[in-house]
């Protein structure tokens, strides 16, 4: 009897090895390996992180995880396949680093492991990425700036500013106007040009008392108050370069008399002003 089992053991081992080679270790032993989602990427702005990843056909839903430092990840959101994006705005603090991971659940209810963490630090982003200034002037009293049309998503503005000009010493009001709401003023700041930074052409920004949300598709003006014989500001033929699709520049605008807004030049030209979002 012992000799029979001794002879049978190699045969059993050959069958097991052949089965493992043919169908795989996981299947042969009743196990299943759920693939981990990949390609997780993060893009930031003020108090916001946009997450994207590469979809997996076997997925029924994805689980997004967020944590800080070495803290245990917390479930942020569950997203149904085939969606492969999520916008995180939950209690984010500008300047603080967050780590994100993703897992998936397949049609059988089995869950994968978590992906490698991706870090993201939300901070305000400049709308204008490149500015070509021309000559300065100080022979106008009123507000000058730009018109813009918001893109497909609402846009939260947190700071606005104007570029420092040669010899600037005054304080300038910069305001946001809603063209569709009887030109209502939505928010403003008072920029003291005696405060740094004071390099010619460098924007001097100030945070709004509270963020201003511009509605998707809406038209707005951002304008700086200037005074004839006062500080220099830059002409309406300055041009901008944008590395963003959150809004489109409509051109250079001015307000004179108060409440009347006129387009002076077509895009991409503006009287230089900017915002952060």
Residue 230 burial (CB count, 10 A)? 17
Q: What is the mean pLDDT of each run of 10 residues along the chain (277 residues)?
A: 48 46 45 88 97 96 91 93 97 96 96 96 94 91 97 96 95 97 97 96 96 98 97 90 86 95 94 96
Instruction: Please state the pTM of the whole predicted model.
Output: 0.81
Between the two ends of the chain, the Cα-to-Cα distance in Å is 81
CA distance 161 to 175: 9
Q: What is the pLDDT of residue 244?
A: 74
Tokens 């946001």 -> residue: 176
Secondary structure (3-state) at 232: coil
pLDDT in tens, 139-160: 999 999 999 999 999 999 999 9
DSSP label of 126: B
SS3 content of the chain, % helix, strand, coil (to 5): 10, 50, 40
Q: Which residues are paired to 220 by β-bridges?
A: 148, 178
**Residue (of 131, 146, 127) closest to 243 by Cα position:** 127
Dihedral of the alpha carbons of 167, 133, 173, 191, in degrees to the nearest 10: -60
Secondary structure (3-state) at 133: coil
Q: What is the pLDDT of residue 25?
A: 47
In terms of DSSP H, where are the helices of the chain? 2-23, 25-28
Backbone angles phi, psi at 43, to 5 degrees: -125, 135
The answer to whether 274 and 155 have CB atoms below 8 angstroms apart is no
pLDDT in tens, 23-62: 344 444 456 689 999 999 999 999 999 999 999 999 999 9
Q: What is the pLDDT of residue 1?
A: 47
The residue length of the chain stands at 277
Dihedral of the alpha carbons of 179, 184, 185, 186, in degrees to the nearest 10: -80
Rg (CA), the chain: 29
The answer to whether 189 and 172 have CB atoms below 8 angstroms apart is no
């Amino acid at each position: 009897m012992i000799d029979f089992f001794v002879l049978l053991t190699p045969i059993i081992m050959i069958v097991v090895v052949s089965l493992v080679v043919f169908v795989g270790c996981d299947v042969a032993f009743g196990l299943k390996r759920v693939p981990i989602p990949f390609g997780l990427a993060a893009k930031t702005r003020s108090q916001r992180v946009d997450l994207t990843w590469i979809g997996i056909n076997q997925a029924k839903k994805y689980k997004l995880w967020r944590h800080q430092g070495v803290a245990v990840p917390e479930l942020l959101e569950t997203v149904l396949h085939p969606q492969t994006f999520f916008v995180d705005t939950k209690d984010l603090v500008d300047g603080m680093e967050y780590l994100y991971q993703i897992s998936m659940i397949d049609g059988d209810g089995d869950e994968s492991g978590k992906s490698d963490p991706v870090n993201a630090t939300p901070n305000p982003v400049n709308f204008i990425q490149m500015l070509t200034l021309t000559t300065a002037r100080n022979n106008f009293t009123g507000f000058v700036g730009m018109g813009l049309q918001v893109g497909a998503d609402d846009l939260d503005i947190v700071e606005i500013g104007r570029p420092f000009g040669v010899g600037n010493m005054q304080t300038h009001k910069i305001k946001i106007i809603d063209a569709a709401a009887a030109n209502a003023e939505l928010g403003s700041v008072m920029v003291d040009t005696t405060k740094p930074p004071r390099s010619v052409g460098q924007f001097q920004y100030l945070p709004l008392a509270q963020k201003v949300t511009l509605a998707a598709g809406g038209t707005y003006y951002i304008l700086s108050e200037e005074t004839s014989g006062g500080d220099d500001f830059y002409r309406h033929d300055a041009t901008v370069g944008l590395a963003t699709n959150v809004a489109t520049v409509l051109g250079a605008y001015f307000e004179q008399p108060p409440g009347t807004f006129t387009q002076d030049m077509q895009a991409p030209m503006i009287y230089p002003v900017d915002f952060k979002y």
